[in-house]
Amino acid sequence: MVAVFAAVGSTIPLFNIYRAEDGFTNSGISLTVVAYSAATLSSLLVLGRLSNHVGRRPTAIASLGLLVLGCLLLLDVHDIGILIAGRLLMGLGAGLASSSLTAYIVDAAPARPTWLASVASSQTVMLGLAVGAIGSGALVQFGPWPRDLVYLVVVGLLLLSAALVAISSETVTPVPGGWQALRPDVRVPVRVRQLLPVAAAVLLGTWATGAFYQAFVPALVQDQLHTSSSFVLGLVFATYMGASALGAPLGGRFSPAVAQRIGMIAFLTGWIGIVTAIASGTLPLFIAATLVAGAAQGIAISAATRGLLLGSSLADRAPIFAVVYLLSYSGATFPSLISGQLSHTFSLPQIAAGYGVLALITTLVTAIAARNPTTDMPRPGRLGT
């Protein structure tokens, strides 16, 4: 999972190079984020239950293979269409990994501590994005072949990961019905339904912010915070994502409802600092506020995931994670699509303020409506088709 999302994060420090050398616009960069998220959504809808039928290992290896193809395509980016196509392949691979590899992690996790499975499954995404961004920033800034080396390194990590998965133990027994599983059909246990509105608010607010950091922070760092360093850009993005992985275990000390409230209130505090830093052009404040928002989202996301997983059976896990990431990437896709169009009219600080308002709304929903999961035995239910 870390390798998958390191591949996804590796592209971000290169966005300013593509803007400067190839004439890509903020709107075009935002469109690549939309393409990635839309491909991930499609993969989740169609392939979210596939690992229950063909096994965790084959689907995990297929997801890594799609990421390899995406990286190879990005070795020659001089047109926005190539960048979009590469990100589409990455999105397909990330979507397949989001359901199969996360379920694989939970299958293999020990029973104690109880929060370990939810933290490991939800925060490897953030950790991978952080590793990819800061590693890419360092290679772009200080290494040879700034447009290519990072993709070659990531391909090596993905191939190594595929080899390790191939020699690992399978955790599910393949069952017939794989073709039927490709029909979009999102299922969750009945007991989870009452938790979905608040989980959706948490995932919308936090993942929209992650998409904001991908699409607009490269330009903000250069234009508003006055640095063109690819390493600093990677460091800023890694601060947000890496802090999420560090903050996530803190939520395990509280019930899911309390942890979600604490996380989202701290997340809003971070956003207030982010908007203030952009308005004043203060890079240290921006990094500090990014750190707060990142750690806070880790608390909130892992708590929401923990609540949804409580009492889940082996067969429930892949569908639950498909729903989690379906909500997550919806939160990344639609605000990015809207803000990308608005970027033709509004300035980057105004776009950032809009995301701050979204953080306020999702925090209010969480503070008012968060609740703890029940311990009833789960029964299969249908969320929608």
Instruction: Tell whether pTM > 0.85.
Output: no
Q: Is the pLDDT of residue 66 over 90?
A: yes
The highest-confidence range among 144-148, 226-230, 285-289, by mean pLDDT, is: 285-289
pLDDT of res. 182? 63
- Of 73, 207, 74, give the one whose Cα is nearest residue 129: 207
Domain residue extents for the chain:
2-169+186-375
User: For 2-169+186-375, which CATH class?
Assistant: mainly alpha
Which position has the higher pLDDT, 211 or 319? 211
Query: By mean pLDDT, which of 45-49, 179-183, 189-193, 350-354 is the weakest?
Result: 179-183
Which position has the higher pLDDT, 322 or 133? 133
pLDDT of res. 307? 86
Average pLDDT on 218-227 reads 80
> What is the tens place of the pLDDT at every residue in 68-122?
999 999 998 888 899 999 999 999 999 888 778 887 887 777 767 766 766 676 6
77 touches 17 (CB < 8 A): no
Q: Name the pLDDT band for 281 (thresholds 50, 70, 90).
A: confident
- DSSP per-residue codes, 179-209: HHHTS--EEEEGGGGGGHHHHHHHHHHHHHH
Residue 40 half-sphere exposure toward CB, CA atoms < 13 A: 33
Average pLDDT on 48-56 reads 75
Secondary structure class of 382 (helix, strand, coil): strand
